[in-house]
Structure 1
Amino acid sequence: MSLWLTGIGVSRGIAIARVQKLQAGDLEIPERALAAGEVDAEVMRFAAAHGIARQQLREVRAQIPAGTPSDIAAFIDTHILMLDDRSITDGTVQTIRNQRINAEAALRKTRDALIAVFEQMEDPYLRTRRDDVSHVCGRILRVLLKSERQLPQRSGQTEPFLVVADDITPADIILLSQQHVSAFVTEYGGPLSHTAILARSLGIPAVVGLRDARRLLRDGETVVLDGEAGHVLADPDALALDFYRAKQRAQAQYRANLIRLKGREAISRDGLHLRLLANIELPEDAKVAQENGAEGVGLYRTEFLYMNRKDLPSEEEQYEAYARIVQAVAGPITIRTLDLGADKQVDSGRSQGPTPNNPALGLRAIRLCLKEPDLFRVQIRALLRASSLGRAQIMLPMISSVQEFRQACAVIDAARLELIAEGKQLSGEVPVGAMIEVPAAALAAPWLARQARFFSIGTNDLIQYTLAIDRVDDEVNYLYDPLHPAVLQLISRTIEAGNAAGIEVAMCGEMAADPKYTRLLLGLGLREFSMHPEALLEIKQIIIESDVGALRKEVASLMQSQDLQEMRERINALGGH
């Protein structure tokens, strides 16, 4: 009898394969007291396990084939850097010495404390870095406990297999991809975890957050996985197999057709040219983005320079990082200023105030920068210097008022005058724009548009703040709804305000990369989409097939609907235009 299960689809595609469970998921971590004479030996045991874990990751890194996209290797590089972070190494050693407990227990305490910090972070992407902490510490723990996870050994086997596990690390995914894994299901995880992002980069269909998957699915049974819908069908009948095999073939043909679009511009059926931009994190990603037709970069995050370190990055360090990325991008590049705050502190002793009750609404992003102008000034000086090497523009996050925007611009103007006085080479003008991710900013868009040179709509936060929900929280994330009328009204208002003022309006949130919403956004008047490079071709295909003029009329009509169910049905039917 078939069993139908639903989790969170994080990487699209259909897989039909036999289940292979990944064992040794859960670790039992003992705690024992040490005698004074045992402490030094225990510190050495931890150091040895740490060295073995680092070597394991380096071996995985060395196995990545030449020519693989840079973002895939970057996941392992990130884990290697995190492994050597002093918060993990020094923190664990200090706990061993101060509390006189064994290395496993000390590392568990370090891990739990770090995860607690990430749990408080408002930004969904950064909060899911708690998974990376867990993966890195888990690798050292397995060495200490002599409980290595056993990956399937399938040399010479060609039958498709689907891995079921509690969680899968990026390193495990890379090794499994070399054994031609068809798909994977995990009991934990979310759409923004590195595991999910890597699955999408490698094109491996995946469903995460499917609780009790290891108990409900049996080794060796045939399973159908739909990575878009988040469905897993165990023991399918012949009719279901025929249906999903036909769907597999159609998807394969669709992907093959997308490759032909690499050299084409994103021009709609009625002749409108749309700008497709990329969200990137590394200079190497710019090449992939350009190959897929990106005309520039719509979002480059900078807060990664500040994370996992004891000190703040200097102006020179930041300048070098920004210079590399600006020089690597052929078109314009939008660089977002740091989005750190009370919930995302660097461990530098910079802020000694009390932890806020609600960090999501606390001192973060532009609010922090205006309160601590020296922190902001260093970054702005580095950005202005790097801008002379390309076509950079500065984006300010979490703007909520015209006054805030003006204050930030005053700091930028002052930094420019300082650099000119010092004889530094600068570009003639660096456009400064606002990220629209707070409902107040969307409502104030007509006034902000008179000050800002451009807008970029950050739908991830805009939806969360509008609906007062946390999409990473399993208890309420079912309420996360991009099609909520209030969200659509705020997006529409922002686009209209930008158009009226003659400034560019882009969207850099996940909604821009989701093909379900492309025609809706075109109908709302959006003309610039920024997304992960891998999503560019599919969005381009939809644009090429769309009549934007017809969509504008249809969307204007459906936005007047008083029946929410009818409104959703009409949005879903936009594919015919």
Structure 2
Amino acid sequence: MAFTLHGLPVSQGIAIGQVHLVSHALLEVNHYHVPPKHLADELTRLDDALATVQGELIGLKASASSGTSHNEVGAFVDLQLMMLSDPMLIDAARKLIESRRCNTEWALVQQMELVVEQFRQIEDPYLRERQADVVQVVERLVKVLLGHPGHLPPKRRDGLGTVVVAHDLSPADTIGFRDHNISGFVTDVGGPTSHTAIVARSLSIPAVVGLHHIRDLVEDGELIIVDGTRGVAIVDPDETVVQEYRLRRSELELEKSKLNRLKDTRATTLDGENVNLLANIEGPKDLPQVKAVGSDGVGLYRTEFLFIGRDTLPDEDEQYEAYRAVLKAMPSKPVTIRTFDVGADKALNGNQGRNEPNPALGLRAVRYSLAEPKMFMTQLRALLRASAHGRLQIMVPMLAHAHEIDQCLTLIEKAKTELRAEKVKFNEAVPVGGMIEVPAAALSLGMFIRRLSFLSIGTNDLIQYTLAIDRSDESVVHLYDPLHPAVLKLISGTIQAGVRFGVPVSVCGEMAGDPAYTELLLGMGLRNFSMHPAHILGVKQQVLRADVGELAPRVQRILKMDEPARVREAVERLGS
């Protein structure tokens, strides 16, 4: 009997195939007592499993090196390899085996739960979801210990794809997908920044996550449709539904092919307004994708990915090389590099951080940078050194107070003074900007405009803080609304203040990369959009179809509305 489940759409497209269930080994772990004379053998089991999984991961990373997604997958595999030597996980499990005289599988799961609980206290959605690394590496160990590591099915010959259905998927699980005709996947858990979502987007495989119990509701071999655009999984559909989705899939593939033709077309509206479409990146590894879509530059380089998941912090030279690589690869195009957006609740340099009652409102982003001036100065020096190799712009996250801006500018001047004394070249006039991510900043723009060269609106956090909604909490995610009247007023007010005073303003949150909001933002006056490279061509198509002169008065009427339902209807009509 056919039924439909709704989850979170994380990778667009439509997949039609047969279910392949991936086992959830952690559900099969029993607890049993190990006699003292067999404890040494039990510890050997742990060591053997560690060696096996380590070998598998190294092999998988090597096999991924030829794939289009090898950068993303390789980084995740490196993180899991590091966890195989993490004392908090492995050494603690070994001590548990000895002290409790228990089996290895149970000890690993017990310690995993303790480590995962620490990750759950982290506010940042991306970092909090790194608890999945811990779970996935332990599950991989448990599968080896239980004797059923599990494998993907062979490549099908009947024309049907295979849809992987799992509780969760690790990046290591996904490396072989391109060799097994995997057409899509769905999982019980996950969010927009989960591994499943990130790897799905990099492989262009339709995916829906957060379906809760789908693994328990389907069987191997069942026909399933995955709509990664709408967040829907249809199990055992009838032939009429299958034909409908085949037609829709063909239409999507044709549309994607047409979008690729826009790569070298300048993003200009029908009435001649030029629009800059920039890319959000995490490091030099993202540059091939940025160039493939003809990006106008980099609007957001998230430098915290240089700091996360390592035992030692990157020194000045390492940071300089990473920044320089991006600047040299984007000659004559702007590259906006954000200073690290981390907090004391995030484990840096092996430190588990402070226990804060509310990390979202605690020591994070610019607050953390100013609390760690030595660390911050190292980054500023590296950034300034890199500025000699391209059009660098430095951007500071989560500003809310004038004194924070002044302190940052003072430290930048100090770094410049040091470099001058050392006769190191840098751009004396490197622009410094700030992110508008909290309502306090959006409501007091004067002090930002007087001190900074440009502004960038981080809509993800601005929406979250304006509506008091944790966008990664499934229980309240339905209340996360980019079209809430209060949110729109803050965004529009920031854009208009930039226009009025001649300060460039961009949007670098998820709204910028969603074509459903392109006309709305254009009508507000936005001319600088920054987004994941995969979204640039879709947004460019919307820009080319837009007439700003016609949109602006309609958007002004929308901004006067205070009923969310009316706002949504009016925004949907903008594109018609």
TM-score, scaled to structure 1: 0.93
In 1, are the aligned partners of 2:13 and 2:206 still within 8 Å (CA)? yes
Once residues 352 and 377 of structure 2 are traced to their aligned partners in structure 1, the CA distance between those partners, rounded to angstroms, is 15
Aligned pair 1:318/2:316, yes or no? no
Cα deviation code 1:190-224 (max 9, x no counterpart):
11112111111211111111122123234333322
Aligned pair 1:163/2:164, yes or no? yes
In 1, are the aligned partners of 2:283 and 2:322 still within 8 Å (CA)? no
| Cα deviation, residue 470, structure 1 | 0.7
Aligned letter for 1:181? I
Aligned pair 1:55/2:19, yes or no? no
Aligned to 1:401: 401
Once residues 506 and 168 of structure 1 are traced to their aligned partners in structure 2, the CA distance between those partners, rounded to angstroms, is 35
Aligned letter for 1:334? T
| Cα deviation, residue 154, structure 1 | 3.5
Aligned to 2:86: 88
Q: In structure 2, do the counterparts of structure 1 residues 314 and 40 end up closer, same or farther at CA, with 3 Å as the change threshold?
A: farther
In 2, are the aligned partners of 1:450 and 1:501 still within 8 Å (CA)? no
Aligned to 2:337: 335
Aligned to 2:519: 519
Q: In structure 2, do the counterparts of structure 1 residues 24 and 138 end up closer, same or farther at CA, with 3 Å as the change threshold?
A: closer
Aligned to 1:173: 174
In 2, are the aligned partners of 1:92 and 1:103 still within 8 Å (CA)? no
Q: In structure 2, do the counterparts of structure 1 residues 2 and 394 end up closer, same or farther at CA, with 3 Å as the change threshold?
A: same
Aligned letter for 1:76? G
| Cα deviation, residue 514, structure 1 | 1.2
Q: Which moved more, 1:154-163 or 1:469-478?
A: 154-163
Aligned to 2:185: 184
Which secondary structure does the structure 1 equivalent of 2:200 belong to?
helix
Cα deviation code 1:467-499 (max 9, x no counterpart):
111111111111111111111111111111212
Q: In structure 2, do the counterparts of structure 1 residues 159 and 239 end up closer, same or farther at CA, with 3 Å as the change threshold?
A: closer
| Cα deviation, residue 344, structure 1 | 0.7
Q: In structure 2, do the counterparts of structure 1 residues 34 and 425 end up closer, same or farther at CA, with 3 Å as the change threshold?
A: farther
Aligned to 1:384: 384
Aligned to 1:299: 300
Once residues 237 and 383 of structure 1 are traced to their aligned partners in structure 2, the CA distance between those partners, rounded to angstroms, is 58
In 1, are the aligned partners of 2:436 and 2:462 still within 8 Å (CA)? yes
- Structure 2: tracts of 5 or more residues without a match: none
Cα deviation code 1:373-413 (max 9, x no counterpart):
11211111111112212221111111012221111111111
Aligned to 2:278: 277
1:416-495 mapped onto 2 (5 Å cutoff): 416-495=416-495
Which secondary structure does the structure 2 equivalent of 1:503 belong to?
coil
1:183-202 mapped onto 2 (5 Å cutoff): 183-202=184-203
RMSD (CA atoms): 2.3
| Cα deviation, residue 166, structure 1 | 1.3
In 1, are the aligned partners of 2:126 and 2:194 still within 8 Å (CA)? yes
Q: In structure 2, do the counterparts of structure 1 residues 422 and 567 end up closer, same or farther at CA, with 3 Å as the change threshold?
A: same
| Cα deviation, residue 37, structure 1 | 7.0
Which secondary structure does the structure 1 equivalent of 2:472 belong to?
coil
TM-score, scaled to structure 2: 0.93
| Cα deviation, residue 564, structure 1 | 2.8
1:358-369 mapped onto 2 (5 Å cutoff): 358-369=358-369
Aligned letter for 1:248? R
Aligned pair 1:550/2:511, yes or no? no
Q: Which moved more, 1:154-163 or 1:495-504?
A: 154-163
In 1, are the aligned partners of 2:16 and 2:160 still within 8 Å (CA)? no
Aligned pair 1:534/2:547, yes or no? no
Cα deviation code 1:474-532 (max 9, x no counterpart):
11111111111111111111111212221111111111111111111111111111111
Aligned pair 1:226/2:224, yes or no? no
Once residues 305 and 32 of structure 1 are traced to their aligned partners in structure 2, the CA distance between those partners, rounded to angstroms, is 42
In 1, are the aligned partners of 2:278 and 2:528 still within 8 Å (CA)? yes
Aligned letter for 2:2? S
In 1, are the aligned partners of 2:513 and 2:536 still within 8 Å (CA)? yes
Q: In structure 2, do the counterparts of structure 1 residues 505 and 434 end up closer, same or farther at CA, with 3 Å as the change threshold?
A: same
Once residues 411 and 37 of structure 1 are traced to their aligned partners in structure 2, the CA distance between those partners, rounded to angstroms, is 62
1:234-249 mapped onto 2 (5 Å cutoff): 234-249=235-250
In 2, are the aligned partners of 1:24 and 1:148 still within 8 Å (CA)? no
Aligned to 1:111: 112
Q: Which moved more, 1:100-109 or 1:260-269?
A: 100-109
Aligned pair 1:571/2:575, yes or no? no
Q: Which moved more, 1:542-551 or 1:159-168?
A: 159-168
Which secondary structure does the structure 2 equivalent of 1:84 belong to?
helix
Once residues 323 and 288 of structure 1 are traced to their aligned partners in structure 2, the CA distance between those partners, rounded to angstroms, is 18
Q: In structure 2, do the counterparts of structure 1 residues 394 and 308 end up closer, same or farther at CA, with 3 Å as the change threshold?
A: same
Which secondary structure does the structure 2 equivalent of 1:263 belong to?
coil
In 2, are the aligned partners of 1:394 and 1:431 still within 8 Å (CA)? yes
Aligned pair 1:268/2:266, yes or no? no
Aligned letter for 1:56? E
Aligned to 1:143: 144
In 2, are the aligned partners of 1:312 and 1:348 still within 8 Å (CA)? no
Q: In structure 2, do the counterparts of structure 1 residues 310 and 8 end up closer, same or farther at CA, with 3 Å as the change threshold?
A: same
Q: In structure 2, do the counterparts of structure 1 residues 37 and 527 end up closer, same or farther at CA, with 3 Å as the change threshold?
A: farther
Cα deviation code 1:42-96 (max 9, x no counterpart):
5554333222212212322333373x33x44432333234322476256422442
| Cα deviation, residue 240, structure 1 | 2.7
In 1, are the aligned partners of 2:297 and 2:335 still within 8 Å (CA)? yes
Q: In structure 2, do the counterparts of structure 1 residues 348 and 22 end up closer, same or farther at CA, with 3 Å as the change threshold?
A: closer
In 2, are the aligned partners of 1:2 and 1:233 still within 8 Å (CA)? yes
Aligned to 2:216: 215
Q: Which moved more, 1:188-197 or 1:16-25?
A: 16-25
Aligned to 2:371: 371
Aligned letter for 2:384? L
Q: In structure 2, do the counterparts of structure 1 residues 572 and 72 end up closer, same or farther at CA, with 3 Å as the change threshold?
A: farther
In 2, are the aligned partners of 1:42 and 1:96 still within 8 Å (CA)? no
Which secondary structure does the structure 2 equivalent of 1:284 belong to?
helix
Cα deviation code 1:285-310 (max 9, x no counterpart):
22321221101111111112222233
In 2, are the aligned partners of 1:25 and 1:149 still within 8 Å (CA)? no
Cα deviation code 1:252-291 (max 9, x no counterpart):
1101101111111111111111101111123132232122
How many residues get paired?
572
- Identity of counterpart residues, as a percentage? 44
Cα deviation code 1:539-576 (max 9, x no counterpart):
11111111122111111111112433222101011112
Cα deviation code 1:124-171 (max 9, x no counterpart):
222222222222232223223323123223354532232222112222
Which secondary structure does the structure 2 equivalent of 1:379 belong to?
helix
Aligned letter for 2:180? Q
Once residues 417 and 37 of structure 1 are traced to their aligned partners in structure 2, the CA distance between those partners, rounded to angstroms, is 67
